[in-house]
Structure 1
Amino acid sequence: MPIKLFRTGARHGAIDFIVAAIGCALAGNALAATVPLPYGCEMASKGKPAPAAAVVAQPVFPPVQVQVRTPVQPTVLPSAGRNYLLYELHLQNFSAEAVTVHGIEVLDADQPPSTPVAELKEAQVAASLRQVTIGDNPGNLQRLGVGQGAVAFLCLAFDAKVAVPARLRHRVLLDKAVADGPAIDTRTTPMLVLGRPLVGTNWTPGNSPSLHSHHRMGLWVVDGTAQISRRYAIDWKKFNSQRKPYAGDPRDVRAYYAYGQKVLAVADGEVVTARDGFPDNIPKTEAGFEAALPVTLDTIGGNQIIIDLGNGQFAAYYHLQPGSVGVKTGDRVRRGQLLARVGNSGDARWPHLHFQVTDKADVMASEGLPQIFDSYRIKSGNQEWEARTGEYPMGDVVVDFGADAQEN
């Protein structure tokens, strides 16, 4: 796999950055066939250049007054033999009358607009849109009143053999017009090749990106800015071979297989946040759930560690076990170092590790960034274990990070 890597830092624990295209063939096409697409993801193609005789549409004046904006441009993200692009289109109607969004076409910005890379029809658009301002017609999210906005949550999946365009454009199909968006890049964020955050097997990447995930859809206005800190966040949960998360009393945190498991530094860096002392919650059961402390922006992450990885990227660990945080603010940590243990503090229903990479050291006031892990094994359904390198695990799969190491 000819991916260009740049290595920085000292020899031990150095951080790798993927900055080149990842549109080449990847191992694991057979695996991709067994891993279903996350809900809301559309298979994409390369798109074909327009015929020489194609008629070029004439621009209209004044231009259609619907804004099409992508606040955070995507980066090609490899996972289980596919390449993904995850991003949002912020739509806002600045015209003097209501408009209805009927479709979205995704185009290769460096090719004539003949064959779209992907097309979202009425049903897909309806599923992907979330209203920003409610207005007078909350039942029809595709209809944007005067001044109204909505966000389209896009996920494009490319087969490993299909080259991902370097730039995309978007064409929003309205009632009697088309709103064109600007070109966006598809290799925006240098991706860190991270070490494992956990040890052992039977971990599942819960709430990884899909339209069913509150992480992916978690658009929050914090400090006056709408952001998605959890865009690529994973809730790492541990199950036994029968897919049960605990053995014994479901209200006892210690009954959960994830509880107390070791949490490791994914890279060298400096600890910029280390908090302990938040109590564990009693896990959620059919009887209900009540957090040990009221959930606020201060308590939502519970016991936590945030590591500055450099280059404007931060690795964050949340919901850690009380009394287990073994580092303090200002400490330098090494990749693979034991940091803490999995708990159930903060806004956690049952024991798991919430892990994310963001552009700021804040649980919500930040933008979520893509990341990949250097090596692990996965299996889907009844398939055999398969080794993966330089990918991001998501979907209905089971992950094996390997056995514990003595130094931890």
Structure 2
Amino acid sequence: MTVRVGTPARLAWSLWGLCVVLIAVALVLFVINADARPAGSYGSLDAVIDVGILGFPTVGAAIVARHPDNAIGWLLLATGLGSAVAQALLEYGAYSLLRAPGTLPGGAWAGVVADAVIWPSVAATSALMFALFPTGHAPSRRWRWLKWAVAVDVLAYVAGTLFAPGGLHYFPTVPNPFPATSLVMSAVRRVAAPALIPALILGLLAVVVRFRRSRGAERLQISWMFYLATLLLASTPLTMALSGTNLHVGGIPVNELAFAGFLMAVPLAVGVAILRYRLYDIDVVINRTLVYGALSLILAAAYVGSVLLLQLVVSPVTRGSGAEVAVSTLVVAGLFRPLRSRIQAGVDRRFFRSRYDAARTLEAFGTRLRDQLDIDALGNDLQAVVNDTVQPTHVSLWLRGSGR
């Protein structure tokens, strides 16, 4: 059979359209179901997660359209499709079993299939995505067994979930419509589910191995994955701290919104690494993250400290007029530019030494330029600066009216 050039792209965007339809159905049923939520539901965050899921098939379809042979695009599509199917079925099950029992058939069937699909679509595809990133192939032949191990584990999990006796995971009071006659399937499910965790760890280890061996463009691509992993690890303490607060945005806890943001960041980082890594230089992104992350923390601490200090000092005079907040805001605004310059210089000096040295060289040349009158000496200085900062293979200087 001859496959036309546009067939993978059309198939990918068709699957993307299916994901959009399923998520739209899930969102409509989410609104209708109101407080009739499945067990383990995140409440209002479910709607945010539904929208965030679309990032996976969107990036996956874009990758397949340009690189149809790269398995990463298809894995992202599988993650999006499996998650969209599971969310739509869960909302359908919630309506059929909880919101309006008996009005629609197949609620139990929807609940058990959703349970069988959701975990493999996230954990299994993520493990394979790490192991195959960014080329779509394993780092070496030694890693090929991981693909087969994950496939076998997924089949065991699906079978154990579909045929395990007892109540459903998301609807505990509803019996499984496809129960087996023994408890073997329950044991299979209990073993298969945690077995995907080592697969995820091995996938991350494969990224490390590939990074150590990679050069050039592939190394830049993998750097994006490391950047995302670093952000996730660094933000974990903040997310845990926010979980103990009552901060909400639109009725959704801030820590849950942060989790949804990380969910959307995964396909975005993969897409940038594979499709646009030459446009978005990872060093520039890391530089900006370090500078503005440190700047935000320092200014936030300065603002809170200033407000608390002024409240202690001037509260007897201001009597709750809010003057301390206004003064603190002005202080933080005044600190922004000088503090950003100092942090930028510190980050460049510590982490981006070549850029820092280049800036110092140009600054010194500018100082000499104001006092230099000798054209020959100035030309030599200019060539030395270009060599130190740009590091070209050859430098030529042409002056009007000169033979050089």
Question: Which band: TM-score by shorter chain?
Answer: under 0.3
Of the two structures, which has the highest relative contact order with CA contacts closer than 8 Å and spacing of 6 or more? 1
TM-score w.r.t. the length of structure 1 is 0.22
Whichever structure has more strand as a proportion of its residues is 1
Whichever structure has more helix as a proportion of its residues is 2
TM-score w.r.t. the length of structure 2 is 0.22
